[in-house]
Structure 1
Amino acid sequence: MSAPLLSLRGVSAYYGSVAALRGVDLDVNAGEIVTLIGANGAGKSTLMMTVFGAPRARSGTISFAGEDITGLPTHAIARLGLAQSPEGRRVFPRMSVLENLQMGAALHGGRYFAQDLDKVCTLFPRLKERLSQRAGTMSGGEQQMLAIGRALMSRPRLLMLDEPSLGLAPLVVKQIFGAISALNREEGMTIFLVEQNAYHALKLAHRGSVLVNGRITLSGPARALLDDPSIKAAYLEGGHAPAAPAGAGV
């Protein structure tokens, strides 16, 4: 069996003296969708940001394509082929949609810009209609499409999506998750998905892990997690997962 594309071993991270991640082990294999689910404050976004070096892992190792990236600066990690669509979208609001996409393509000097722009506009036709519009004037769903499109413009080997459904209407969530599925199914894109909407995430993913208070408490095939009574009670049937202590990650 080939080595995972992304691998975390014993990764811990802190905000000051507060532990946000506690000895996390996690693998993402090439060509699969892996989701990380958990309650708000469990440390999901912190884990994704730690992969990108901010915050730094205080212990453990993070490797990508067999290379140890634990101590690399964020820009060097991005150049290896990781791209992130962050929580809250964080588009450049005063720049146009086209300019935002150009920022994503800057990693390769814009060499593939026309080709990749066509791909993004095919995936998200709404963006094609709004190329000249300021990003900050678009709806939340359109901004989420733009954030994902901007990440795709860097031609990543691994696409990391942090809460892509957050604050969006159900119809838009369906469109976003449909696009994520198409990227994996049609292009073989490897995707690491952090998501609070456990049902949608596990329906989409091949494998999943549950993060509670900075620790992975359960991992396995996504279908098995969907059928797990403890997952159903905590995340799928209106129950509440164990709450994280104050400051234990976002």
Structure 2
Amino acid sequence: MSEALRTPLLSVRGVETYYGNIIALKGVDIDVHEGEIVTLIGANGAGKSTLMMTIFGSPRARNGQIHYEGRDITRLATHEIARLRIAQSPEGRRIFPRMTVMENLQMGAAIDGYAHFEEDLAAMFTLFPRLKERVAQRGGTLSGGEQQMLAIARALMSRPRLLMLDEPSLGLAPLIVRQIFDAIRELNRSQKLTVFLVEQNAFHALKLAHRGYVLVNGVVTMSGSGQELLARPEVRAAYLEGGRH
């Protein structure tokens, strides 16, 4: 079936989001199909994180619609959206710093009712061996890279159908960035996990993604395959020059 005829797993149509009287998203249209990695790139302040949070219901879209699995979720509360097997690893990681690695992972598994806890825990320790070494350590004492691994693992413990990652490479050393992106690629390859990735690191994000969108001042200005966007001179000039890590 062609891309145009398939019903997207996630569909954003004409979404406008405001902070007070300031419009942050100006009629955004984005599709994410099942089994895809889709990335949204753009400069700091373009509205990328706002879109991620709007999909999750906070802030709420003032206009437009958000559909997931064909269902309109535009007006659902955040906790109701989380129960639909959508998981988010937010910008800044936001793990529970006073809880141990194990306790953080238990919090992630609570949405799934701990039905597959031991199996999923073993899978996370295979994906991120460092977490197994730190299992009894408090989250706040981990390095930035370890905290990002924990944030992603905590999201995965809920067995999501759609994983939304907001700036997973932010502030991390290049070697750790590669490890994080390799893990995302492996999850998509082995489990067909659908990933919506918001990233400032355009080079890594577009290399990883099947498709991408460029957001400029709350407006989608370009879209295409990851390779197509990597090759476009305007993308290279704005986001890639000197930006390879």
Aligned residues: 239
Counterpart of 1:128 (choices 129, 132, 141) is: 132
Matches within 5 A, 1:1-250: 1-238=5-242
- 1:72-95 deviations in Å (ceiling 9; x for gaps): 000110111100000000000000
Structure 2 residue runs without a partner (length 5+)? none
TM-score by length of 2: 0.96
What is the deviation of 1:204?
A: 0.2
TM-score relative to the length of structure 1: 0.95
Q: How much has 1:2 moved relative to structure 2?
A: 2.2
Q: 1: CA distance between counterparts of 2:144 and 2:166? A: 15
CA distance in 2, matches of 1:25, 1:145: 30
Read off the aligned partner of 1:179 and give its amino acid letter. Answer: A
For residues 158-192 of structure 1, what are the alpha-carbon distances to aligned partners after superposition, in whole Å with 9 as ceiling and x for unaligned?
Answer: 00000000000000001000000000011100000
Q: Which amino acid aligns with 2:67?
A: S
Where structure 1 has 5 or more consecutive residues not aligned to the other structure, the ranges are 240-250
AA paired with 2:74? T
* TM-aligned CA deviation for residue 110 of structure 1: 1.0
Query: Aligned AA for 2:236?
Result: K
Rounded Cα–Cα distance in structure 2 between residues aligned with 1:90 and 1:164? 12
Residue type of the alignment partner of 2:108:
G
Identity %: 71
- Residue identity in the other structure for 1:72: L
Aligned residue for 1:10, secondary structure, equals: strand
1:33 counterpart letter in structure 2: I
Q: Could you tell me how far 1:238 is from its partner in structure 2?
A: 4.0
Secondary structure, aligned partner of 2:76: coil
User: How far apart are 1:226 and its partner, in Å?
Assistant: 0.2
Cα deviation digits, residues 67-123 of structure 1 (max 9, x gap): 000000001101111000000000000000000000000002211111110111110
Q: Secondary structure at the match of 2:137?
A: coil
Equivalent-residue separation in structure 2 for 1:4 and 1:221 (angstroms) = 16
